Structure 1
Amino acid sequence: MPEIENIKYFALLEEFETSDKLIKLGFGELQNINLNNDFYFLPFQLLSQGFERFMKAYICTAHFHKHGKLPNFKYLRKLGHDLEKLLNEIIQNYYTNFNRPQFDLDNDFIQSDSDLKRLLFILSEFGKLSRYHNFDLITDNTKIGVDTKKLWEEFENTILNKNDYEKLMDFDLSHEVYQKISHQIIIVFEKFISALSRQFIFKCLGQKGLQLSATTAYDFGMLYEKDFGKKDYRNQTTKYQETPKKVHKRTIIDEVQRNVNPDFKSKKIKKSEYDGGWPFYADEIIIECRQKHWCIVTIDGFDYALNGSAKGRYKLENPHDAGMAILGKSISDFIKMALDLNIVEKH
């Protein structure tokens, strides 16, 4: 039985580990995009590199499993930096039915999903030419790449609806629009990378493939429909790690205020009793409205700001920024319920 020589085995292992880190960082930087941060170059760079390296490592492993040897330099170079071309090479030569219903879902998605094709095209163009789009303009380069940021923004506009544009004008909810965009895009990418990763898990690329891709394969290959879009990748990023999270641990005085102060209205809400898309990671929360204006939410004994007014007054993070709510899931209903506690009191 053929073996991969050690130096090449460890180089391939490093490529899988590198691609895993790049992809997760890219997702995290997408989730960091907001009204004050439109630096798309970073997630583009991370994701285009991460996906390219992962698919090339996939092809190397699959080629070894199929032919008993690693591909040569000419073969891999011919595939270039085109993510769509790399994916087509995998589909045509190295994508195997593992005889479970999930395979049909995965196969249909990577072959037919129009959003995936569009997003991979944008990242491919970025990786090939568009990284230097501005320098091409500056120096009158005749072989100028497309403006990938513009293409990306056009794609984002297909995600948004009238209600989202109204939210952009709302101080309390504008951040949710950016979260919705990154949420939808990451779902597409998670489905893509998990479909490829499952090939390793089900040993379609042999035992060697499973060994080489262990980290990436299990992190993404174990994601299924119920899991997509649920993970907060921001904690992988330096920016998120270095930003202090402004939360408040509740005290006895806080509890007394909640119970006896007539200007403090509160209500406990459980996930099991809520009719709608539950946005919090915790299964139980307490919403509170103070003096008919400042809305907070208590999660596991800590206070977070529900609306912008409370964020400004108490210097608290909102649940999304603090990592306590699922990005892409709106908390607008809970702001309304908190404000409505004052109306209930009048009747």
Structure 2
Amino acid sequence: MPEIDNIKYFALLEEFGTSDKLIKLGFGELQNINLDNDFYFLPFQLLSQGFERFMKAYICLGHFHKYGKLPNFKYLKNLGHDLEKLLREIIENYYTDFNRPQFGGDRNFIRTSSDLKKLLFILSEFGKLSRYHNFDLITDNAKIGVDTKELWEEFENTILDSNDIEKLMDFNLCHEVYQKISNHIIIVFEKFISALSRQFIFECLGEKGRQLSAATVFDFGMLYDKDFGKKDYRNQTTKYKETPKKVHKRTVFDEIQRNVNPEYKSKKILKSEYNGEWPFYADQVIIECRQSHWCIVTINGFDYALNGSAKGRYKLENPHDAGMAILGKSISDFIQMALGLCTKESGKQNKVKSNINE
């Protein structure tokens, strides 16, 4: 059985580790995009590099498994920085499905997904020319790259619907639009990278492939339909780590207020009893409306802001920013339910007053 020289083996191992970190950081930076942060250059740079390195390392191991030797410099150089070309090379020469449903589904996705094709094209253009787009404009370069940020934003617009446009006008919900966009894109990329990663962990690329990828791509290789879009990658990023999370640990006084203050209305909601798409990681929460305006949600003994009014008054994070709710899943229903608690009580009081007057 042919062997890989130690120095080359550890070089491949390092490439897998590097690509894994770049991809996860890229996902995290996509999730950091919001109304106040439109710095797309960073996730573009991370993802274009991460995917290119991952696929080239994949091809090296595929070539070794198929021919018993690693590819030469010329072969890899000719593949260039084109991510679509790299993926075609993998599909045509180094991808196996073994006639199993999961492998067939993976293959069908990476071959036919129009979203994946568009996104890889944009990242490829960024990696080849467009990262220097502004300097090309400044210096009148005849061979100017496309504006990848503009192409990316055009793709984002295809994800949005009329309800999202309304949310952008709502201070309480506009952040959910950015989350919907990043979640959609990350699901496409998770399906892509997990499809390729499964080739390693199930030994489609041989024992060496499984060994080299065990410490890096295993996480992606074990993602399936039920898992896509569920992970918060922001905790990989420096920006998220360094931003203090404004939450409040509940006190005895808070509980007294909740129980005796007539202007505080609350309700426990269980995931098992909720008729809809549950947005929280915890299986139960308590929603509360204070004085008909300020809506909070209590999760595991801590308070978070449901609406913008509560965020401003109590200086609390919303559940998404605090990492307590799944990015891409709306909490608008819980805001309405919380406000409804006060509205319902107010309606009862008005009815009582009306009866007295009569």
Short-chain TM bin: over 0.9
Structure 1 counterpart of 2:223: 223
Aligned length: 347
Structure 2 counterpart of 1:268: 268
Structure 2 counterpart of 1:62: 62
Aligned 1:30-49 pairs, distance under 5 A? 30-49=30-49
Matched, 1:91 2:123: no
Residue 297 of structure 1 aligns to a residue whose secondary structure is: strand
CA drift at 1:101: 1.0
CA contact (8 A) 2:16 2:217 kept: no
1:207 and 1:99 map into 2 onto residues whose CA distance is 20
Aligned 1:271-290 pairs, distance under 5 A? 271-290=271-290
Structure 2 counterpart of 1:193: 193
Residue 285 of structure 1 aligns to a residue whose secondary structure is: strand
Structure 1 counterpart of 2:356: none
CA drift at 1:216: 3.2
2:2 and 2:271 map into 1 onto residues whose CA distance is 54
2:217 and 2:38 map into 1 onto residues whose CA distance is 31
- In structure 2, give the amino acid aligned to 1:165: I
1:131 and 1:98 map into 2 onto residues whose CA distance is 39
Q: For residues 147-202 of structure 1, what are the alpha-carbon distances to aligned partners after superposition, in whole Å with 9 as ceiling and x for unaligned?
A: 00000000000000111111111110010000000000000000000000010111
Identity %: 84
1:331 and 1:216 map into 2 onto residues whose CA distance is 34
CA drift at 1:99: 3.6
Aligned 1:104-253 pairs, distance under 5 A? 104-253=104-253
- In structure 1, give the amino acid aligned to 2:6: N
CA contact (8 A) 1:16 1:53 kept: yes
Moved over 4 A (4+): none
CA drift at 1:82: 0.2
Q: For residues 189-219 of structure 1, what are the alpha-carbon distances to aligned partners after superposition, in whole Å with 9 as ceiling and x for unaligned?
A: 0000000001011100011101111133311
1:288 and 1:98 map into 2 onto residues whose CA distance is 53
Q: For residues 64-118 of structure 1, what are the alpha-carbon distances to aligned partners after superposition, in whole Å with 9 as ceiling and x for unaligned?
A: 1111100000000000000000000000000001342111110110000000000
- In structure 1, give the amino acid aligned to 2:331: I
2:206 and 2:289 map into 1 onto residues whose CA distance is 58
2:215 and 2:303 map into 1 onto residues whose CA distance is 35
- In structure 2, give the amino acid aligned to 1:160: L
2:212 and 2:133 map into 1 onto residues whose CA distance is 36
Structure 2 counterpart of 1:323: 323
CA contact (8 A) 1:20 1:215 kept: no
CA drift at 1:343: 2.3
1:80 and 1:302 map into 2 onto residues whose CA distance is 51
CA contact (8 A) 2:194 2:223 kept: yes
1:52 and 1:168 map into 2 onto residues whose CA distance is 34
Q: For residues 289-345 of structure 1, what are the alpha-carbon distances to aligned partners after superposition, in whole Å with 9 as ceiling and x for unaligned?
A: 000000000000000000000000000000000000000000000000000001222
2:217 and 2:100 map into 1 onto residues whose CA distance is 17
1:276 and 1:97 map into 2 onto residues whose CA distance is 36
**TM-score (structure 2 length as normaliser):** 0.96
Structure 2 counterpart of 1:23: 23
- In structure 2, give the amino acid aligned to 1:9: Y
Matched, 1:100 2:122: no
* The 10-residue stretch of structure 1 (212-221 or 305-314) with the greater mean CA deviation from structure 2: 212-221
Residue 282 of structure 2 aligns to a residue whose secondary structure is: coil
What CA RMSD, in Å, does the superposition of the two structures yield over aligned residues?
0.6
2:326 and 2:119 map into 1 onto residues whose CA distance is 23
Structure 1 counterpart of 2:351: none
CA contact (8 A) 1:289 1:341 kept: yes
Structure 2 counterpart of 1:12: 12
Structure 1 counterpart of 2:77: 77
The structure with the largest alpha-carbon Rg is: 2
**TM-score (structure 1 length as normaliser):** 0.99
